Amino acid sequence: MKYLSTRGQSPIAEFEDVLLAGLAPDGGLYVPQEWPLLSADEIASCSSGKYADTAASILSQFTGGVFSEERLHEIASDVYGAFDHPETAPLTQVSDEDWILELYHGPTLAFKDFAMQILGRLFDDVLNKHNKRLTIVAATSGDTGAAAIDALKTCEFVDVVVLHPEGRVTDVQRRMMTTIDAPNVHNIAVKGAFDDCQAIVKEMFADQAFVDAVSLSGVNSINWGRLAAQIVYYFTAANTLMKAREPINFVVPTGNFGDVFAGYVAKKMGLGIDKLVVATNMNDILHRAITTGDYAPAEVLPTYSPSMDIQVASNFERLIFDACDRDSDAVRGLMTEFMTNGKMHLPDNMRSRISDDFISFATSEDVTLEEIKRHYVETGSLIDPHTAVARVAARQLRTDGKLAGKTVTLSTAHPAKFPDAVKKATGQTPALPTAHEGLF
């Protein structure tokens, strides 16, 4: 497995290089030279065991022999064995054709744990082999920072620096980042929004001399290793539901486009996925881009779902690359337009290609709270606001006739990470799991 940059001006890279670099030297994002395609039998085989079995099988498609499948299985078993649910990523049925995929049973109660915990172990193995040290810099809207710190706090060869927007994360998110007593962990609060944090990180990566001097790398979803680990739960969820082999829809609350792009990769690998729904809050740049072609950042509005308060979605460039038949010249042209004008417009043929796989929906704050309440009244269960955004999208698109058949909504965070929004909607304060009772 070899990797190339979406902008076409970096050398072809091996998995180790991609893992340690994060961003390509030309400013582009790494993607595999070609998507691995699995047969129906291979998909059934790799998804038939425990979650760790599937993780090892899927990750081995991307590591290019750097890690044996046995080593990947060992790592995955250790990582996912520590999650607090025996199924790791359980499905809960909420109506005849609707399920919720619970992705919050890891150590920081968010879907980021699925990839970040794996990434930390891969980093340590590679760095130990080459006797190298790495400086990880991460911008976070709340969950990535906590997940990165928890995953990397014991890494012998990694220093981690996390930038979060001051006052724009919940107290639970902030404390998960700032109460870890580890000498290799450093936190910085930035006066601004997540996009300001992300811009600082991108500016660092653009300075190649600085990158080399501090051995800089990243664990945001620009890092391909993280996306590869997120592909796994699409396979495990689909395998549970696809007894009749009809395609399944996935509805994903997303801001930086990494989680939903992992679903796209799963589809390219042969998994039976019909539509991928991009569910956004009022920070709806992805919805506007998919529906009209206009990719123009607006002011970042603070919402009840802060992990999606993003107006520049880094991973969207990976989709643009595929949507223009992997024409890196076209990608560079669009990204230059974006850097010059602060916006860009997707050509109609590219938007048409995107609509083959994706539909989108944007949700207001009031409707998000209404959905948290509705779900609680009807099911007796609490959901976090990001999950609520996605459930609104799933329900409305089904009502509008744009979504049909089995549909899985990704529940990306535990409701206790966003207690104020949940209490405002339901009057109930979600309790933190036992492992986090001492957080405050």
Q: What is the 8-class DSSP label of residue 301?
A: P
State both tokens at 190: 């930035």
Q: Give the DSSP H/E element, type plus range, for residue 366.
A: helix 365-379
Reference 303, options 257, 364, 252; nearest CA is: 364
- In tens digits, the chain (440 residues) has pLDDT values of 999 999 999 999 999 999 998 889 898 999 999 999 999 888 888 766 799 999 999 999 999 889 999 999 999 999 999 999 999 999 999 999 999 999 999 999 999 999 999 999 999 999 999 999 999 999 998 888 999 999 999 998 999 999 999 999 999 999 999 999 999 999 999 999 988 998 999 899 888 899 999 999 888 788 999 999 999 999 999 988 876 578 999 999 999 999 999 999 999 999 999 999 999 999 999 999 999 999 999 999 999 999 899 999 989 999 999 999 999 999 999 999 999 999 999 999 999 999 999 999 999 999 999 999 999 999 999 999 999 999 999 999 999 999 999 999 999 999 999 999 999 999 999 999 998 888 98
Q: What is the pLDDT of residue 243?
A: 66
State both tokens at 26: 């030309």
Q: What is the pLDDT of residue 44?
A: 85
Q: What is the pLDDT of residue 246?
A: 83
Reference 398, options 285, 292, 249; nearest CA is: 249
DSSP string, 96-126: TTEEEEE---STTSBTHHHHHHHHHHHHHHH
**CA atoms of 412 and 253, how far apart (whole Å):** 8
Q: What is the pLDDT of residue 218?
A: 83
Q: Which residue has the tokens 């076409």?
A: 8
Active site residues: 112
Q: Can you point out the beta strands (E) in 247-377?
A: 248-253, 273-280, 294-295, 344-345, 358-362
Helices (H), 171-327: 171-178, 194-206, 208-214, 224-230, 232-241, 258-268, 285-292, 316-323
- C-alpha torsion 376→381→384→388, nearest 10: -50
